[in-house]
Amino acid sequence: MKAAIEDLPVDPAPQHPQTKGPIAVATPNPVRIRVVIADDHPLFREGISRALQLSGFIDVVAEAEDGQDALDIIRREEPDVAVLDMRMPGLDGIAVLHALVRDHTPTRVLLLSAFTDSPSVYRAIEEGASGFLTKDSKRSEVVEAVRAISRGKTVVPPEVTAGLAEEIRARRTHSAPTLSERERQVLTGMARGLSIPQIAQELFLGTSTVKTHTQRLYEKLNVSDRAAAVAEAMRRGLLE
């Protein structure tokens, strides 16, 4: 007759070779990722929340349906990652991101958007987002993005990477226009508040010549008046 289970000998707990005491067995304790989700579409927000919760390593600590509520919650909860819709009522995702970066909030941000145009992606990364995904991404991709971002990585899907690279190159070229020496002199005069006749007199040039240089400056800086030209030149570091 077979022995009953309770009659079988019990293996002794493993003993430490030095102390002869039982060896402590470490149990896995994975680090949980705390997340806040903000999206004004309840079904989409609930779908993302469910996918993250089912991952087994993510806790959704709060949800928000507009930007201001999201910002308040993030400031209070300080989650590891915030998943934000790029376009929301009140404050949009970019505005929330900007406020978090300005205030040195440690929360990393994953922006979701229905728009995949290069300027949107560039702006998201420029403002300090740790990741950008389209809203038609698979739920598993959102989960993996949250995991990667929580570890300090930046996530941008391959389908928008090429466009982002082009946008960076275009902006780099656009942000540093090549000015002739005369154009720089005219720009400096504008910054000093001189009128076109005064600039012409100072540079020993005709008024029409200074007007030509001025028009070329406007074109290179993509502006339409002198105040905007000076402001744009200062933004791009063309004026000291």
pLDDT of amino acid 27:
42
pLDDT of residue 232: 81
Task: For residues 133-144, give the mean pLDDT.
Answer: 92
Q: Which amino acid is at 209?
A: T
Quick one: angle between helices 42-54 and 139-150, nearest 10? 60
Q: Residue 92 corresponds to which tokens in the numbers above?
A: 């949009």
CB neighbour list of residue 30: distance below 8 Å, 6 or more residues apart: 57
Using DSSP, state whether 237 is helix, strand or coil. coil
Mean pLDDT, to the nearest integer, of 52-76?
95
Higher pLDDT pick, 136 / 115: 136
Token pair belonging to 205: 């040039």
**Under a CB-based contact definition with an 8 Å cutoff, are residues 127 and 98 in contact?**
yes
Q: Mean of the per-residue pLDDT values for the chain? A: 82
User: Region 219-233: what's the mean pLDDT?
Assistant: 84
pLDDT of res. 41: 93
Q: What is the pTM of this model?
A: 0.59
Instruction: Give the C-alpha separation, 112 to 98, whole Å.
Output: 15
Condensed to tens digits (0 to 9), the pLDDT of residues 78-104 reads 999 999 999 898 888 988 998 999 899
pLDDT band at residue 122 using 50, 70 and 90 as cut-offs:
confident
Residue 147 has pLDDT above 70, yes or no: yes
- In angstroms, the CA 177 to CA 159 distance is 30
Res. 8: pLDDT tops 70? no
Q: What single-letter DSSP state applies at residue 109?
A: E
Q: pLDDT of 165-193, one tens digit each?
A: 565 555 555 555 678 889 889 999 998 88
For CA atoms 71, 112, 53, 57, the dihedral sign is negative
